[in-house]
Every structure is written in structure tokens, then in C-alpha cells.
Amino acid sequence: MKKISCLFLFLALAALAPLKARESVQFIRNDARQKVKDELLQKYGGDQKFRIERGVDQVAGLWRGEDGSPQEFADYCRQYFIADAASLEAVFKKMEFYSEAIGGHFGEMYLDKDQPVDLDWGEITPLDIAMNQFNPGAHLSEDLFTSKIAFFSLLNFPVYNLAEKTTLGAQWNRQQWAFSRMGGSNSTRIPAEVNQKVSSLLADAGRYISDYNIFMGSLVDGKGQTYFPADMKLISHWGIRDELKARYADKKGLFKQQLICRVMERIVNQEIPAVMVNSGKYQWDPFSNKVFANGKMIASDREADNRYQTFLSTFQAMRLIDPYSPLYPTHIRRSFEISREIPEKDVEEMFVEVLSSSQAKKVAALIRKRLGRKLQPFDIWYNGFKGNASINEEELDKIVSGKYPTPEAFEKDMPRILAKLGFSQASAAAITPHIQVDPARGSGHNAQTQSRRFRSRLRTRVPAGGMNYKGYSIALHEMGHAVENVLDLFRIDHISLAGVPNTAFTEAFAYVFQDRALDMLGIEQNNPQARHLQTLDSFWNSYEIMGVSLLDMKVWHWLYDHPQATAAELKGAVLATAKEIWNKYYANIFGVRDQVILAVYSHIIDSTLYLPDYAIGHLIQFQIEEYLRDKTVGPEMERMLAAGNIPPQFWMKNAVGTDISPKPLLQAVSFALAALK
């Protein structure tokens, strides 16, 4: 998972706000705008008409009384509008310099101050919590407007909406794309107190999730028998889900999977005893939901609706931004039309096409045959198509812990990993010094840098006995994020184009790394059916995460329809929606109705509509992997990422020659099923 600092989150969420914004409360009247436009048109000519009209409107949309009188507004536009192409390019380069300098240092400040919370540094103190909530960049946006620096970019660099970029972008050169991204860099004006409140709420949610651990050695059955090591502490949902996956290679793993599934259901239903959250003091039977102390049952209250209160808080945080983004007045619209640059309708159609496909029932039948039993709900996480499915995870843990006893050992091994992926020695030597590996408190993430002065922070969980296979798999995933970050930052032609089109693309490259986990360990997989099995694995992962993503999307719509909802009401809506999606797309395949485990993902609670990026990322990854079949990962990844942050469909056509679509995956599944017969 990629972690973005609060500063850049605010900028990304509210882009495009000034276009025709605040018409009902505008300080600069239309006649004053038109007078300035006419004067500039007369001075610079009709070929500057679009830039003049768009620029003046953008400045007027965010000009307030405290910025000056209408006359001062007019004077500003006359003085600072740049018509000469050479002068505009020179100013653009200077603005890129300032953007990287200020944004990069603020980003680094966030990462540094949050280390006591993000990293495994021991107990979190009240001071750490206060600093985690504190947003040092809360005043930055307003300061840029007060100093009138923000108006400079708004006046000279047009902001384009998604439809305009889609229509015009095919004819743009690299500089035009860079100019368009610069236009959106100061296109919102969120008050400092709002920024600070949003930062605090999101920080609280992140801490709640990063400390939501289950002590697996404390789980017992009805006879008091334990099934997991006493020292196994797994974060929800990542750790317990991956432990469930690992049990497919365990001949006695079925009951353990059923036990984990019941834990998931208790978490989602908010029935888990409060004393079992992040504690191993007592024993707990998830089936009966009874808690024991030294074999004797004790009274225990369930966790209050903290999970859904936290979710509610992140929703309210995003609502605070809504009034300052009048063209895109909901977090839903901003997430799809600005952050992803893919309309929500198109995303939902792709997900439904996969969930409703005939291939789903056929792949499920194959899984049922391979398992030799009826499917159970947790088999949405079946990983038997993977190369490590037949390898006992304990064996893999021994290999990994010996190889990576510390985070530093993984960091030292990164050049070798890149070499195995086909990166040249020179590229590996250039990339890895820009990546720093830290011990994560949570499951792991990559905190990306926005400046070439600093390093990308790869965070992964490393227990006292050394990294285990789950942690190694996550570390490779985060390494994919980090390498992407380095390549499209340090090798980009325009810093304003640094990055990828949206989070789904960096997730796709993270999956490319993660899916080669065994190869990186030197474990050969000589299976002639490997390609077909990999296709089925990609499909089954997509089938699972697309249902989870639909849940995320539908619940956010429910929240906007019920903005005054309580945590209990939100819990009811989440559970009802999870059952609805399950019954529509999964029940006829699994033979079970009204399941809720689609709601177990922690991203739903703290990551504000993040999950669709994973689902889109699976589609992107599959198309990239298909393209890479007869090619080498390293050079192709370097080529693809050189495109930078342009809209998704333009990026994909440049990378693999086609649009993002589920059709290549569905066609490949049909071919794989036929071949495996």
C-alpha cells in the first residue's frame, strides 16, 4: 500500500475547484472579470483568448475580500499574466523547482515526525499521538494564497476537467501535459483549521488500524486447544487473511481457516471481545465467543462500535473538504474524476463484468475439484494456483528469516532482487540508494517521496526472529511501490509529471514484484502449466477484490445519503451491503448466503475509498504481465514509467498498446481453463 502525506492528499483531493466556483458567493463580479479579460485580449490578441478567459476565471473563483479590492484583482491580472511562450516556459521551470523544494521538504517532515507511530519503536506515548495528529502544512495552502503566489499558477496555467483532458490530451506534447498538471497544483483554498482537522481524524484512523492485532496463540476451540504459535501476532486484516491463505498448504489447515474466518466475522460484526484486540492476556473461542482466563470462562464486553466510529470519522474528514470543491462536491467524485481520472460508472462496469462473468463459476468449479470439498466463504482467498501453494509456509519462514534477520538485510539485498528482475547493474545501483527500509509497526507500506533530495521509505514488519514469508511478500510489494517512486521521480522529464496516473498503477507494479516472491528466493517452479495457473490466480484475486471494492463504493454513497448516521447505523449499512453484494455475486457459487467477510478489509475503515485502486490495479497488472511474457521486467518497467503522471488510458496505450479493460483477463481465463482440461 502506498502512503501519501496529508499535504499531498489535500492537494490531490480538491483539484479543479476554482472553475466557475462559488458563483453564488463570489467576491469578484462577472462584469469585473469581463473587463479584465477584454483588456488582456486587446493587449495580447485572440490567440491568447482561451488562456486569458480561463486564467482570469480561475483567479476570480478563489479571490476573497481579504486578498484585495476588485481593482487590486484587476491590477494583479494585468501585471502577472504571461503571454510570451519563452517567458512562460521559464516561469514554469522555476515553479517546478519551488514545488519540489517546498512539497518535498514538507513531505519529509511528515514522514520524520510520524516515525514513532509508523515504525516499530515501542510504546506509543500521548506526545507521539499529538504529533501524529499535528499537520505542519495546515497553513501552507492558505499562506500561498495570502502571499498571492497561488494565484500566479491559476492565472497562467489552465486547469482542465477530465472530459477536456480526455478530448484534448491525445494531441498534447509532454510540455502541454506538464503545463496542465501545474495548473492544478494550487486549485483549492482550504482553510488551515480544516486541514488540521482532516489531518487529525485521518491520523487517529491510521493508528486504530495499525494497532488492531490478533494474538493467534490465544485462539482456542471448544475444548481449549490452541492451533497457532504462542508468539504469533497478526494485524487485521492483512495478517490474518494471509495466514488463512497459508493454510492451503497445511494438510490440517481447514479448521484453522474456519477459525480465522470466524475471527473475521466477529471483527466485522463488532462482536469481538474488547480484551482480545491487541492483547494475548486471555484465551478466546471465536465460535462460542467466550473468553477464558487459565481455562475458566470470564465475563467480557464486546468491542464498542469503534470500527464504524472510526470509519465515520474518516467520512466526516472528507466532508470537511466538500465546500471547497464546488465542481466536485463529494469525496466520491473527487476520488474517481480527479484522483483516478476514470469515471465511477466506468469502474463499476468493469467490476460487474468480472463478477457476473461465466468464468467465475467455472473457476470456482475447478477450485472445488482441487480442494476435494465444497467451497466455503473464505475460499474467496484461495491461493492454490500460486507456485507456493504446495510449499509449507513454515519452511518458507525458515528460508526468509535466515536471509532477512533485519530490515537492513532486506535493504542490502535489493540490488540482487532488481538484477533478477532484469534491471541492469547500472540501474540497480542507481535505484537502490534512493530506497530506505524501516521496521513497520503495521503490516507495511511505502511512504513515497516527492523530492529527489530524499529517499522513498519502504516499511515492512520484521519480528524479533527475523522476517517471515508474509512479511517478505509484503516487503516485495512495497519494494514495487518504492522502485516505481524512484523511477518516475528521478528519471522524469518534467517534475510536474512525476508519478503514475493513479494509485492503481503503482499497485500494479507492486503486484508484479510480489508475484515473483519465490523466484527472488531462488525457488524454481518448473510447471508447464504455470502461465495458465497464474491467469486463474489473477482472475480469482480480481473476483474477490472487486466485490470488496463495490462494497467500499456503495457504502460511501450510503454515507452521503445519511450524513448524520451514527456508528451503529453505519455498521448496519455496511453489513447489509456486504450481504447484498455477496448474495448477488458469490452466494450461488459458494452455496452460502448473507456472508459479511467482504467487509473485513481495514482499508474500508481508514483509507477513504482506496480499495477500487487495488481492483483496477489487478486489471492493469494482468495486461502488463501479458505484455511482459516475452520481455524483461526491468527495462520495460523503466520505459513504461517514463510516461509519468498522464491520464490512465493514455498511459496504458503507451505502455501496452490497449485501454484498461477486463476483457483480456476474461479471454485468458477461458483459454487457461480449456488448456488445463
Convert the pLDDT of each residue in 423-455 to its tens digit.
Answer: 999 999 999 999 999 998 877 889 999 999 999
Q: Which of 520, 537, 565 is the last residue of a domain?
A: 520
Please indicate, yes or no, if residue 414 is contained in any of the structural domains.
yes
CB 645 within 8 A of CB 499: yes
Check residue 3 and give its pLDDT: 60
Share of the chain above pLDDT 90, in %: 82
Q: Are residues 508 and 535 in the same domain?
A: no
Domain-located, residue 435: yes
Query: Would you say residue 402 lies in a domain?
Result: yes
Find residue 273's DSSP bridge partners.
Answer: 302
pLDDT (0 to 100) of residue 22: 35
Domain limit, last residue, from 472, 487, 520: 520
Number of structural domains (the chain) is 4
433 & 372 share domain: no
380 and 408: one domain? no
Nearest to 193 by CA among 60, 10, 327, 12: 10
Task: Specify if 197 maps to a domain.
Answer: no
One domain, residues 252 and 376: no
pLDDT at residue 388, rounded to an integer: 60
Q: Let me know if residue 640 belongs to a domain.
A: yes
What CA–CA distance (Å, rounded) separates 648 from 338?
11
Q: Looking at the structure, tell me whether residues 462 and 368 fall in a common domain.
A: no
Examine the domain organization and report whether 431 and 533 are in the same domain.
no
Q: Are both 504 and 533 inside the same structural domain?
A: no
Give every residue of the chain whose pLDDT is below 70, as ranges.
Answer: 1-25, 185-187, 387-390
What's the pTM value of the predicted model, to 2 decimals? 0.85
Apex 462 CA angle, 460 and 464, nearest 5: 165
Return the pLDDT at 526: 74
Q: Would you say residue 342 lies in a domain?
A: yes
Q: Which of 489, 520, 551 is the last residue of a domain?
A: 520
Are 516 and 572 members of one domain?
no
Nearest-CA neighbor of 117 among 133, 135, 136?
A: 133
Q: Are 617 and 508 in contact (CB under 8 A)?
A: yes
- Residues 572 and 655 occupy one common structural domain: yes
Give yes or no: residues 171 and 47 share one domain.
Answer: yes
Domain span at residue 332 reads 324-386+528-676
Residue 13 sits in the same domain as residue 157: yes
Residue 299 in 3-state DSSP? coil
Distance, C-alpha 6 to centroid of its chain: 14
Indicate whether 500 belongs to any domain: yes
pLDDT given for residue 371 in this prediction: 97
Residues 328 and 420 in one domain: no
Q: Is residue 203 part of a domain?
A: no
